[in-house]
Amino acid sequence: MPAQPPWLDLCAADALDPAAPLRVEQAGTAYAVFLLDGAVHVTQDGCTHGPGSLAEGYVDGQEIECPFHQGRFHIPTGRPTAPPCTIPLRTWPARVIAGRVCIDPAASTPPAGAA
């Protein structure tokens, strides 16, 4: 695995199912890992509206529907697309390295600690 940036290994790429996001906990953070049209995307797992786990949600095109109140987000950007969700998800650029889904944990959008 390349030395820079300090990649965080989340899961095996072949564990991903386009119809079902994968919840992964690493270093105290819960991530939802998606496979859309052959591309890997990583968001926070917790819905910004409440206690819903997005990895338990319903994938519809490029959107994830939260199982709790059916709010929606655009997976690649984390942008909310349907109420009651109004706060974007954190997302991380992801890449597959040697068959493993990896992110740079310091490169989230929005950055850690942002409102």
CB closer to ligand FES out of 13 and 66: 66
Three-state DSSP class for residue 96? strand
Contact of 73 with 83, CB cutoff 8 Å: no
CB closer to ligand FES out of 8 and 66: 66
Q: How far is the CB of 56 from ligand FES (least distance, A)?
A: 10
Count other Cβ atoms within 10 Å, centred on residue 35: 20
CA 80 to chain centroid, in Å, comes to: 13
Q: How far is the CB of 6 from ligand FES (least distance, A)?
A: 31
CB closer to ligand FES out of 68 and 96: 68
